[in-house]
Amino acid sequence: MIKFDGVTKVYGDKVKAVDDVSFEVPEGNIVVFLGPSGCGKTTTLRMVNRLESITEGKIFVNGTDVNSLNQIELRRNIGYVIQHNGLFPNMTIEDNVMAVPNLLSWDRKKKTDRYNHLMDLIGLNPDEYRKRYPHELSGGQQQRVGIARAMAADPPVMLMDEPFGALDPVIRSRIQNEFLQIQQEVKKTILFVSHDIDEAIKMGDGIAIFEGGKLMQYDSPSELLARPKNEFVREFVGQDRALKSLSLHTVKDLISERMLRKADGLQKHNKKTITVETNLRDALSILLNQEADQLFVQANNKLVGAMRIDDVEAYLHHHIK
């Protein structure tokens, strides 16, 4: 659990980068910091592991005031993924990933096992990359290694500053999915900086929107989309917030509210098949783009019915707006 209590950061004696921010992040949650450039996301993040000093207020990690802890100990217990991945160019991938275990003097066997496990987790072959150097990897691979490095000593808390920032949309979406899957397994408490509302909706259990160092709203994604607290948040989440919130619902949710249509055998040449886990936004874009009039829905590899655009529309009207 992470708790911000009236946290303020002043650079020099003028620039108020963070202004009296208070909120709590429950254990095992991902909270996304969102807001325009310069609104204080990175600064807020970096005060948690004391890479920036706290001017006023307090930050608690699992009930302990971070200022009361040894700075080095604190940082070793918090995984940190920096905005520009920051891999050490002089070290191999293995040495990069094992940077913290090396500081903690783990024995060789434990380190090798952990390295193999982490590389499997992030989808890179452990042996193939072991002796390679960061510059021999693509940007996406480097970012994944940066994440593995932050997770190496299994810290309960992670700070991630735009970890998927430099990626193209396709790879980005894939890595987001992979990361969410990993999170299901590891259940860490994560502060995640982004300036992409779609990423925030997808990744966050909660979203904290900042503007000029002030916390504008802190809520669950669906709450934020449904009830923006003020004009700034409304503008920031955009006109299409109803559409955006579709990505928070799956076909399963739709089924629980309304019956699916019978799969119409006659139109089988003009169909696409999706699973019940597909989110409604993706389902809608398939319907809009793929020129399929209906989608066949599968659960556990069995066809359970079909859906059309009007089903999504009706769901949107009745259950989201």
Partner 1 sequence: MNEIWNYIIENQASIGAYMLEHIQLVGLSVIIAIAIGLPLGIYLTTNEELAETVLQVANVIMTVPSIALFGIMIPILSIINHGIGFVPAVIALILYSQLPIIRNTYVAINNVDPHIRDAANGLGMSTMQRLLRVEIPNALPIIMAGVRQAVVMNIGIGAIAAFIGAGGLGVLINQGISRSNTTMVLTGAIAISILAIVADGLLGILQKRMTPKGFQQ
Asked if 89 touches partner 1 (CB under 8 A), the answer is yes
Asked if 17 touches ligand ATP (CB under 6 A), the answer is yes
Asked if 88 touches ligand ATP (CB under 6 A), the answer is no
Instruction: Report residue 36: phi and psi, to 5°.
Output: -70, 165
Q: Which does 37 bind (CB under 5 to 8 A by kind): Mg ion, ligand ATP, partner 1, none?
A: ligand ATP
Considering only residues 202-241, where is the footprint of Mg ion by CB under 5 A?
none
Asked if 15 touches ligand ATP (CB under 6 A), the answer is yes
Q: Which is nearer to ligand ATP, 11 or 88 (CB)?
A: 11
Asked if 72 touches partner 1 (CB under 8 A), the answer is yes
Could you give the dihedral angle defined by the CA atoms of residues 283, 287, 289 and 293, in that order, rounded to the nearest 10 degrees? 160
Candidates 34-42, 130-138, 298-306, 309-317: pick the segment binding Mg ion (CB under 5 A). Answer: 34-42
Q: Is 312:278 a contact under the CB 8 Å cutoff?
A: no
Distance of CA 95 to the CA centre of its chain: 26
Member of 3, 10, 24, 38 binding ligand ATP (CB under 6 A): 38
Single-letter residue type at 315: Y
Candidates 41-49, 98-106, 235-243, 263-271: pick the segment binding Mg ion (CB under 5 A). Answer: 41-49
Member of 1, 51, 243, 304 binding partner 1 (CB under 8 A): 51
Instruction: Supply the minimum distance, in Å, between the C-beta of residue 161 and partner 1.
Output: 10
Distance of CA 157 to the CA centre of its chain: 14
Distance between CA 153 and CA 114 in Å, rounded?
9
Strands 2-11 and 157-161: unpaired
How many residues touch ligand ATP under the rule CB under 6 A: the total is 12
Q: Which is nearer to partner 1, 11 or 88 (CB)?
A: 88
Member of 18, 33, 42, 311 binding Mg ion (CB under 5 A): 42
- What's the burial of 173, exposed, middle or buried (CB within 10 Å: 0-12/13-18/19+)? middle
Asked if 103 touches partner 1 (CB under 8 A), the answer is yes
Q: Is 240:250 a contact under the CB 8 Å cutoff?
A: no
Asked if 11 touches ligand ATP (CB under 6 A), the answer is yes
Candidates 9-17, 164-172, 177-185, 248-256: pick the segment binding ligand ATP (CB under 6 A). Answer: 9-17
Task: Provide the 10 A C-beta neighbour count for residue 113.
Answer: 11
Q: Which is nearer to Mg ion, 94 or 162 (CB)?
A: 162
Member of 42, 49, 189, 245 binding ligand ATP (CB under 6 A): 42
In SS3 terms, 158-177 reads as EEEECCCCCCCHHHHHHHHH
Cα 191-193-197 angle, rounded to 5 deg: 115
Distance of CA 61 to the CA centre of its chain: 20
Single-letter residue type at 307: M
Considering only residues 121-150, where is the footprint of partner 1 by CB under 8 A?
133-135, 149-150
Asked if 87 touches partner 1 (CB under 8 A), the answer is yes
Instruction: Supply the minimum distance, in Å, between the C-beta of residue 193 and Mg ion.
Output: 6
Q: Which is nearer to ligand ATP, 28 or 86 (CB)?
A: 86
Q: Is 159:151 a contact under the CB 8 Å cutoff?
A: no
Asked if 75 touches partner 1 (CB under 8 A), the answer is yes
* Among the listed residues 16, 71, 79, 58, the one whose alpha carbon sits nearest the alpha carbon of residue 211: 16
Strand, coil or helix: what is 123? coil
Distance between CA 18 and CA 122 in Å, rounded?
33
Sites of contact with Mg ion (CB under 5 A): 42
Sites of contact with ligand ATP (CB under 6 A): 11, 15, 17, 35, 37-43, 195
